[in-house]
Structure 1
Amino acid sequence: MSDHGIISGVGFCTGTGIGDLSVLEAALARFVALRADVAELSLYGEDLIAGGRVIGSRAQRLAEICRRYPLRYTVHGQIVSNFMDEPHLPLQKAVVRAMLELCDRVGATVLVHHSGTAPAGRIADHTRYDTLEREALAEMAEVARGYGVRIALENIFAMSDAEYRQSPAEVAATVQAIGRPNLCALLDFSHAYIECTRRGLDWREQIRAMAAVAGHLHVHDSFGRPCTMTHFHHPCEATALGIGDLHLPLGWGDIPWEELFAELTFLPDTALVLEITERYDAELPESLALARRLAARANVCGRVAAG
C-alpha cells in the first residue's frame, strides 16, 4: 500500500476458482478493466497449501499471474481460521504461516484472519478462549513482521447463541491488548450490523470502537438481519427476504454508507475491499464509484481530525 491517505486503495476480492487459477486470473483482468487499485486474493479456495506447507509449483504460478497486473494485493486467509480452536491450534498456526509465505510471494501487504469462535459457555471459558487467541495472534504478528505483512483481524457474527464470538468492540480490544504494529482490526460493516442486531448491541457505537484500530475494510451491503433462515432454493431468495450475510452491491441494503464514512476514521494506509457476490458483476462499476466517494470522504475527515 501507499501512504496517500487514510484509505490508500479501493478494489475487489476474487471469487474462489476451487483450485483453477485461470478463474483468479480472469478476475484480476476484470478488476484492472474496472480501474481498481487493490485485489484481495481469496487463497483459501485455490489449493495452494497442503498439510500446512505451501505447494511450491502452484505458488510460483500464482506469483507469475499476479505480476501481470498493475494491482496492489491483499490475501484472505482460511475461512475456518480460528485461534480459539485449541485441539487444532498447531495446524491453524501452520496454515497462517503458509499464508504469510504466500503473501510474501505475491507482494501482498495484508493477511485477513477471522476472529475466533468457540462453544458458548461460562465467562471463565470465554476468557480462556480469548487468551488462546491473543497468544497465537501475538506470535503470528511477529512472523508477519518478518514478511512486512499486517494481519487484519476480522469481526464475524455468530450463527446462534450456542456459539461464542467477540463483538466488534471486543475484537478491537483484542487488537489493542496485543499491541503489535503488524496486527490491526478488519472492520466488516455488514458482519458488525448482523451481530449487533442478533445481540441487541448499539451498532454505531460498536463500529466506532473498531474503526479506531481498523487498518482494513470489507464493504458490502445487507439489512443486518441474522441468519434465521439458512436453507433457500436459490441465493436470490435470501436477497429478496433481506436475511443473512448477503454481500450485496452498495445501495441494495440499508447501511447508511455516506453517514458512516463522514464520521469514522481509520488507521493510515487502509484498503477498502468490496466483497460483493460474483453474480453481481454488472453492478461492480457502480459500487466502485460509490466506494471511491466514500474513501475520499474518509480521507477528508481524517485530515480534519489530524489537524
Structure 2
Amino acid sequence: MSSAPIISAVGFCTHTSEGGNFSTLEASIRTIADLGATAAELSLYGEEIIAGGRIIPSRAERLVQITRKFDLRYSVHGQIVSNFMDKEHLAEQKAVVRAMLELCNRIEAGVLVHHSGHAIRQAATQHSALDRMERDALGEMAEVAAGYGVRLALENIFAMSDAEYRQTPSQVGETVKAVDSPQVCALVDFSHAYIECTRLGLDWREEIKAMAPVTGHLHVHDSFGRPYSMAKFYHPAEATALGIGDLHLPVGWGDIPWEEIFAQLTFLPDTMLILEITEDRFGGEQADSLARALRLAALVNGRRLAA
C-alpha cells in the first residue's frame, strides 16, 4: 500500500471582489500563502475571465502570471450557477465548464469544483430524467477533463425549499459512481450536507459516509445545520447570531463534530481540504481554522500510514 497521504493539501478559497479585480485576487492568494497553507481554491466564477463561454485571453494570461508567483497547489471553483439539470441552458453550461477546465490546465489546477444540479420539483420519473441528463453531461465533460489531467468534483448542495429538487449527499455519490470516470469525484461540503439533511429529516453523518468512498475534494466551514427559515437578513452577522443557513463560519464556531467525523471517514487519494472561510469576514480566525484543519487531515492520514 502507498504511504502517500489521503489529504494531500490544505488551504482556503479566495475572496472575490465585485468586477473581477485581480489585485484583490492576488492579495487573497498572498494571504493564503502567508498563513502557511499549501493550497488555494480560486473563485474564478467572480473574476470576469469568461464571456459567452469563451476565455478572454488577456485576463487569462494575467491570471497565469499571478498564480505563478506562489508556491501553492490550486483548485478552481466553477460557476455557482453551474447546473447540468438546466435543460434550457445546457449548451451554455457545458461551454463554461469547458472554458473552466482550460483555465485549470493553464494554471495547473488539478480540480474543478462543479455544483450538483437542481430543478423545480416534479414527478419522480422526471427527476430520473434530470439525473440522467446530469450524468451524461458529466461523462462528456470527463472526457474533456482527461485531456487536461483535471478532476471534476461534484459538490453536494442544499435546497432552499420543498419546491426545489436536489440530490441528497448519498445520491450525489451515486451519480459519481454511475459516471464511473477517474476524472469525476464527489466533493463533500459538510455544512451543506448538515443543512439539507436537517431539512429532509435524514441522518447527515450516514449521508456523507455514503459519499466518502468516491470523494476527492472537501469543503470545510462551520454551521448549525439549520435550513433557511427566514427570507432576509440585513447583514450576514444576523444569520450568524441566529445560527440559520449556510454561514461559512470558522471551524469551531458551529456545532459540527469535526474530530469525530474525520476520525471515522477516509477519502480518495490526493484529496484537497479547502476551508471556505475568507479574510474579508474572518481574517483574524483563519490561522486557527487552518491549524484545526491540519489536525483533521492528520487524523485521516495517520490511519492510512498505520494501515
Alignment of 1:198-237 (within 5 A): 198-237=199-238
Partner of 1:14: 14
Alignment of 1:234-253 (within 5 A): 234-253=235-254
Deviation at 1:78, TM superposition (A): 0.1
Equivalences, count: 303
Q: Distance in 1 between matches of 2:45 and 2:14?
A: 11
Q: Structure 1, residues 91-130: CA drift from partner, whole Å, max 9, x if none?
A: 0000000000110111100000000001101000100100
Report which stretch shifted further, 277-286 or 220-229: 277-286
Aligned-residue Cα RMSD (Å) equals 0.9
- Residue 282 in 1 paired to residue 280 in 2? no
Deviation at 1:16, TM superposition (A): 1.1
Partner of 1:95: 96
SS at match of 2:81: coil
Q: Distance in 1 between matches of 2:4 and 2:69?
A: 24
Partner of 2:162: 161
Identity of aligned residues (%): 66
SS at match of 1:208: helix
Moved beyond 2 Å, runs of 4+: 301-304
1:298 to 287, 300, 303: 300
Q: Distance in 2 between matches of 1:264 and 1:124?
A: 33
Could you tell me which amino acid in structure 2 is paired with residue 116 of structure 1? G
Q: Structure 1, residues 240-274: CA drift from partner, whole Å, max 9, x if none?
A: 00000000000000000000000000000000000
CA contact (8 A) 1:11 1:36 kept: yes
Could you tell me which amino acid in structure 1 is paired with residue 289 of structure 2? S
Alignment of 1:45-194 (within 5 A): 45-194=46-195
Deviation at 1:230, TM superposition (A): 2.9
Q: Distance in 2 between matches of 1:139 and 1:301?
A: 35
Partner of 1:271: 272
Deviation at 1:218, TM superposition (A): 0.1
SS at match of 2:294: helix
Deviation at 1:4, TM superposition (A): 3.5
Could you tell me which amino acid in structure 2 is paired with residue 295 of structure 1? A
SS at match of 1:109: strand
SS at match of 1:212: helix
SS at match of 1:254: coil
Q: Distance in 1 between matches of 2:206 and 2:258?
A: 15
Deviation at 1:17, TM superposition (A): 2.0
Deviation at 1:276, TM superposition (A): 1.1
Q: Structure 1, residues 174-194: CA drift from partner, whole Å, max 9, x if none?
A: 000110000000000000000
Deviation at 1:234, TM superposition (A): 1.1
Q: Structure 1, residues 194-216: CA drift from partner, whole Å, max 9, x if none?
A: 00000000111101001111000
Q: Distance in 1 between matches of 2:70 and 2:241?
A: 36
SS at match of 1:83: coil
Instruction: Point out where structure 2 has 5 or more consecutive residues left out of the alignment.
Output: none
Instruction: Point out where structure 1 has 5 or more consecutive residues left out of the alignment.
Output: none
Deviation at 1:232, TM superposition (A): 1.1
Q: Distance in 1 between matches of 2:185 and 2:157?
A: 15
Q: Distance in 2 between matches of 1:12 and 1:212?
A: 23
Could you tell me which amino acid in structure 2 is paired with residue 194 of structure 1? I
Q: Structure 1, residues 20-72: CA drift from partner, whole Å, max 9, x if none?
A: 01100001111111010000000000000000000000000000000001111
Deviation at 1:302, TM superposition (A): 3.1
CA contact (8 A) 1:172 1:210 kept: yes
Deviation at 1:15, TM superposition (A): 1.4
CA contact (8 A) 1:263 1:301 kept: no
Q: Distance in 1 between matches of 2:43 and 2:180?
A: 27
Q: Distance in 2 between matches of 1:162 and 1:256?
A: 30
Deviation at 1:229, TM superposition (A): 1.2
Q: TM-score, normalised by structure 2?
A: 0.97
Q: Distance in 1 between matches of 2:35 and 2:17?
A: 20
Q: Distance in 1 between matches of 2:88 and 2:209?
A: 34
Q: Distance in 1 between matches of 2:210 and 2:305?
A: 19
Q: TM-score, normalised by structure 1?
A: 0.97
